[in-house]
Amino acid sequence: MDEIRGRVRNKSLHSKIVAAEEAAAVIRPGMNIGASGFTLAGYPKAVPLALAERIRREKFRINLWTGASVGKELDAALAEVNGIARRMPYQTSDGLRKAINSGKVEYADIHLSHMAQMAAAGFLGGKVDVAIVEACAITEDGHIVPTTSVGNSASYVQDADIVIVEINTTQPVELEGMHDIFLNQPAPNRLPIPIVKANDRIGTAYIPCGLDKITYIVPCNIPDAVRELAAIDENYRAMTAHLIEFLKFEIRAGRLPKNLLPLQSGVGSVANAVVAGLVDSDFEDLTVYTEVIQDGMFDLIDAGKLTFASGTSLTPSPAGIKRFYDNLAAYRQKILFRPQDISNSPEVIRRLGVIAMNTAIEFDIFGHVNSTHIAGSKIMNGIGGSGDFARNAYLTFFFTTSVAKGDKISSIVPMCSHVDHTEHDVDIFVTERGVADVRGLSPKERAKVIIDKCAHPAYQPLLRDYLERAEKSTGYAHTPHMLDEALSWHSRFLKNGRML
């Protein structure tokens, strides 16, 4: 308790320190709860667990709004007691995914940069009622110092009538100073976001709140539920090698500066492997303007190749979080966390000329990308920030292995079973087989390059056959498709467990 009191720097707030159960009791059925958290980082834990217990007894539901995905103490715990009626804007929880794909939870899968604006405008079914935010400290003036993510916390705190702050004593107070909180005016009074370099500071080191606005303060000692990343296998290594070769070619051709442009990489193992792979390259003075800071970026910083990384959250492995905490004094000079409508801002991404690297579930021969659905119907996670970056980047890459589940699934298909990024949005496709650069190409040209460079040999003849017959049957139309057959690969997979 002394440690909590030390972190709540204004003594007048000490009377607001309560147990999680007391804070959770303020939540009423049907409320919109705006929580901190972006990936398995910086999300509240104690109050959600207490809320789940209360819901188990009292049987009611709330709407859960977050930054992005959150850990098991929030999504899984509330889904398990059927406590979530509506969820936005992103999730990666096994339990919640099952509930969404069986009609038990309504899920709106929203571009991460849009969420705060839409919530504040009252577009999502009322405004946020309760903000629950993890913090490492509360300042003398009652402002909130976040932990390992910022997400939408600043916006939710601003909009909510009730603010609950979880002081997490497993998060070091030395995180203070690693955040840059900028809240724009609402339209039509918005001003330019004055970031012109990844390391520009434009806001405050805390979430503006104030002594009066804090309703409850809750102690918490549960660490972020960080997860292991998949091992970097030979497919990941091949994709990274292709990427690096391609970037070098672009530099030689005068189309990219020698130290590249600010890098973004999506969440997950492929993206992390690609970033880690840059360690062995001879690129220098790199910068990162992204959502999530993963283990690979620590490698780049340690190798002296990455001068600065801007994101909205830390998404390390268990070993990575230890490494981060152990070397906080060094990393805090090189890493900054921003609100997700700034980290993912179309304005800033386009201005800086970000190189966007994200992972696809599948893409089709004409260049559309599916990031969210398995065989059209079942959602996996959601679009996350991939659309914010892909649409506005200087160069947009999508990565995937050419086949999945052995070779039962081809990740390159005649037509995507769900489209999240259109043919207009993507420049370069990368699989372990190679790189398809489709900039300025027509759909039929794209198809030939994507099949030749990216598809698996087991599927190349089938894809070529589809394309040729579609060309002939449509008289060489702009995007030749045979609609009776376009989705038959997915149908076959659903029936027989394999696309072949």
Q: Which of 162, 167, 239, 261 touches its own copies (CB under 8 A)?
A: 261
Q: Which of 88, 116, 165, 436 touches its own copies (CB under 8 A)?
A: 88
Question: CB-based burial of residue 478 (10 Å sphere; 0-12 exposed, 13-18 middle, 19+ buried)?
Answer: exposed
**Does 475 sit near its own copies (CB under 8 A)?**
yes
Of 90 and 331, nearer to its own copies (C-beta) is 90
Q: For the CB of residue 215, give the shortest distance to its own copies in the complex, in Å.
A: 24
**Does 470 sit near its own copies (CB under 8 A)?**
yes
* CB atoms closer than 10 angstroms to residue 10: 14
In whole angstroms, give the CA distance from residue 132 to residue 397: 35
Q: Which of 244, 419, 460, 462 touches its own copies (CB under 8 A)?
A: 419
Point out which span in 8-16, 154-162, 322-330, 477-485 binds its own copies (CB under 8 A).
477-485
Question: CB-based burial of residue 215 (10 Å sphere; 0-12 exposed, 13-18 middle, 19+ buried)?
Answer: middle
Q: For the CB of residue 170, give the shortest distance to its own copies in the complex, in Å.
A: 34
Q: Which of 5, 213, 394, 452 touches its own copies (CB under 8 A)?
A: 394
Q: Which of 176, 291, 423, 432 is catalytic?
A: 291
Q: Which of 477, 496, 497, 500 touches its own copies (CB under 8 A)?
A: 477
Residue from 282, 274, 262, 271 nearest 237 by CA: 274
Residues 42-61, interacting with its own copies (CB under 8 A): none
3-state helix, strand, coil in the chain (%, to 5): 35, 20, 45
In whole angstroms, give the CA distance from residue 443 to residue 480: 8
User: Residue 154, SS3?
Assistant: helix
**Does 86 sit near its own copies (CB under 8 A)?**
yes
**Does 258 sit near its own copies (CB under 8 A)?**
no
Name the pairing type of β-strands 409-410 and 403-404: antiparallel
**Does 125 sit near its own copies (CB under 8 A)?**
yes
Residue type at 393 in one-letter notation: A
Q: Which of 423, 435, 436, 447 touches its own copies (CB under 8 A)?
A: 423
Of 71 and 387, nearer to its own copies (C-beta) is 387
**Does 408 sit near its own copies (CB under 8 A)?**
no
Residues 167-186, interacting with its own copies (CB under 8 A): 186
Q: For the CB of residue 415, give the shortest distance to its own copies in the complex, in Å.
A: 8
Provide DSSP, 435-482: EEE-TT--HHHHHHHHHHHHS-TTTHHHHHHHHHHHHHHTTS-SS---
Based on the residue annotation, tell me whether 176 is a catalytic residue of this protein.
Answer: no
**What is the strand order of the sheet 286-289 is part of?**
335-337, 306-311, 286-289, 263-265, 355-359, 395-399, 428-431, 434-437
Q: Which of 147, 240, 358, 479 touches its own copies (CB under 8 A)?
A: 479
Q: Which of 322, 408, 439, 469 touches its own copies (CB under 8 A)?
A: 439
Alpha-carbon radius of gyration of the chain = 23
Q: For the CB of residue 425, give the shortest distance to its own copies in the complex, in Å.
A: 8
Residues 333-392, interacting with its own copies (CB under 8 A): 345-347, 350-353, 368, 373, 375-379, 383, 387, 391-392
Point out which span in 49-57, 71-79, 194-202, 224-232 binds its own copies (CB under 8 A).
194-202
Residue from 439, 352, 442 nearest 393 by CA: 352
Provide DSSP, 415-436: S-SS-SB-TTT--EEEETTEEE
Provide DSSP, 299-367: HHHHTT-EEEEEESEE---HHHHHHHHHTHHHHTTTEEE--HHHHT-HHHHHHHT-EEEEE-SEEETTS
Q: For the CB of residue 195, give the shortest distance to its own copies in the complex, in Å.
A: 9
Q: What angle do CA 261, 267, 272 make, to 5 degrees?
A: 70
Residues 93-112, interacting with its own copies (CB under 8 A): 100-103, 106-111
CB 159 within 8 A of CB 131: yes
Of 156 and 216, nearer to its own copies (C-beta) is 156
Please give the size of the binding site for its own copies, defined by CB under 8 A.
89
Q: Which of 124, 214, 335, 463 touches its own copies (CB under 8 A)?
A: 124
Residues 283-302, interacting with its own copies (CB under 8 A): none
Q: For the CB of residue 409, give the shortest distance to its own copies in the complex, in Å.
A: 14
Residue from 44, 36, 96 nearest 66 by CA: 36
Catalytic residues: 291
